[in-house]
Amino acid sequence: MKSTLSKVQPKARPAVKPFQNLPVADFQKAGEREKLEAAQRAVHGSLGRDYPLRLGGENRATGDWVVSRDPGNPQVVVGRAARADAGLIDQAVEAAARAFESWRRVPHQERARLLFKTAALFRRQRYELDAWIILEAGKTWVEADADTAEAIDFLEFYGRDMLRYGQGQRLAPVAGEDNRLDYRPLGVVAVIPPWNFPAAILTGMAAAAIVAGNTVVLKPSSETPVAAAKVVELFERAGLPPGVLNFVPGSGAAVGDGLVGHPRVRAIAFTGSMEVGLRLNELAARTPAEQPWIKRVIAEMGGKNAILVDETADLDLAAKGVVASAFGYQGQKCSACSRLVAVEAIYDGLLEKVAARAQALRVGHPQDPQVQMGPVISEPAMQKILGFIELGRGEGKVVLGGERARVPGFENGFYLQPTIFSEVGPTARIAQEEIFGPVLACLRAPDFEAALEIANGTRFGLTGSVYSRNRARLEHARAEFHAGNLYFNRKCTGALVGGHPFGGFNRSGTDSKAGGRDYLLLFLQAKVVSEKLGAAPAQRSAGKGAEP
């Protein structure tokens, strides 16, 4: 008797909702404050732990340690990460290469789903991640949460974008042919992130490589290895197979250079200084006989960003944007404003407003939610910035700051005052070299055209901003201000995933546009297969159950 039961159909997977940026937490609300306060207490109970290497999904101790300290209170050890050496690079790359053979065959929908699962875990651990970033990177509450929120945005955005790339590319029809273009992964990718966005940039680069079907050897910054270990743990908890993401802290010279030069590494994703980026690009360009490919380099390398203000601008709005851009996270962002270029007519008045706002910033340990500026990342960084400040005394006039900041109870911390120089010339070193600290050089221009020429007068081209009510000038800047990310009447920091694809011109990098719809393509290669229709008839089945 024939069954009347209908065949059971598999449940359709729910449609992926359109991407939306995750808002930064509002710590004015008691509930949000209490969550982060509780997370900080929990993190303080976990300080000083050891974090091993992860090679092929297994822990590996080395007996040597990268010691991470709280830059606001260097006596506090945040944690110790096992230090890899050059001899372990082969093992890490081999583990990634073995995992690639299976991971590249995982359907793109499953790889995207893994990113969504990782994002869900990030949300659950959001305030714990914030607390680690506050302690290890010296970020304020808001800056730390923005870091974590951006990491979540990268996971959600790249997961969705892989669903698009996984469909291939529509080609023009050719009579009598079936032509298809599909995207394939590259292979083993070396991911070398910076310390200043220990969740967001690391997660974004690793997630893009992974969702595209590549495997990763991750060399985190030696300044923030604990935050990196926490990110790796979340990927693994989401179900990432062993060997897809390998964790190898260590020095740039031993681990970074070894990875970049390794013949089985297919691509390098790097964010950091211009000097290091140029050297890694040179290393990657070498092609030993045993290496079958030309390595791909995806690099973001910093900037010397300018905010231009003309006489038609809202000066209060401009001053607010300048201070946020110059001194947010102590000026330790590649997008930070380090030059203010103002036209003669409003220069003095604007400078007065900027200095007053900067002077009101509260410097202290970022565990305090009222603090607006924490420490710089390390003793060497602080000494480098102080060296630029001394240099600036001979290149301009100190309007504000210029010294270490004294924070009661944290006298050994790496705190600096927000520092402003006026009357700086366009060719001065403090107007040309990336300082990566809370130092703003102010330059005077006779008119808008001269100001634009000054703004463009560097080797870099990452971000910029123009404050003006003159539409013709804004449109002129749109065409002629040479920066990868240009903003009108707003600050030059705070790019949002999906809304402000990020990357710069000239020596600011390869204009990779992280967080944009072109970014995953950097981790993929296109393959076209063309079939002449009717030329190869299908074979008949040889018998019942046989394969065609």
Q: Among this protein's residues, is 300 annotated catalytic?
A: yes
Block residue for tokens 């006489």: 311
The whole-angstrom separation of Cα 334 and Cα 196 is 9
Q: How far, CA to CA in Å, does 43 sit from each of 127, 128, 135, 156, 435?
A: 10, 7, 9, 26, 32
- β-bridge mates for residue 501, sequence order: none
Q: Among this protein's residues, is 311 annotated catalytic?
A: no
- Please provide the size of the chain in residues: 548
Letter for the amino acid at 99?
A: A
Which one of the listed residues 156, 334, 337, 442 is annotated catalytic?
A: 334
Q: What's the start-to-end Cα distance of the chain, in Å?
A: 32
Block residue for tokens 């990657």: 284
Does residue 54 contact residue 247 with C-beta atoms inside 8 Å? yes
- 494 CB-near residues (< 8 Å, 6+ apart): 146, 335
What letters, b where the CB count within 10 A reaches 16 and e where it falls short, cover 100-118?
beebbeeebeebbbbbebb
Q: Which of 427, 444, 435, 370 is nearest to 401 (CA)?
A: 435
Other CB atoms within 10 Å distance of the CB of residue 131: 26
Relative to beta strand 65-70, strand 73-82 is antiparallel
Which one of the listed residues 156, 236, 300, 434 is annotated catalytic?
A: 300
Q: How far, CA to CA in Å, does 238 sit from each of 18, 65, 117, 287, 391?
A: 22, 27, 6, 36, 49
Environment class of 20 (CB within 10 Å of its CB; exposed 0-12, middle 13-18, buried 19+): exposed
Angle between helices 108-124 and 225-237 (to 10 degrees): 120
Question: So which residues are the catalytic ones?
Answer: 300, 334
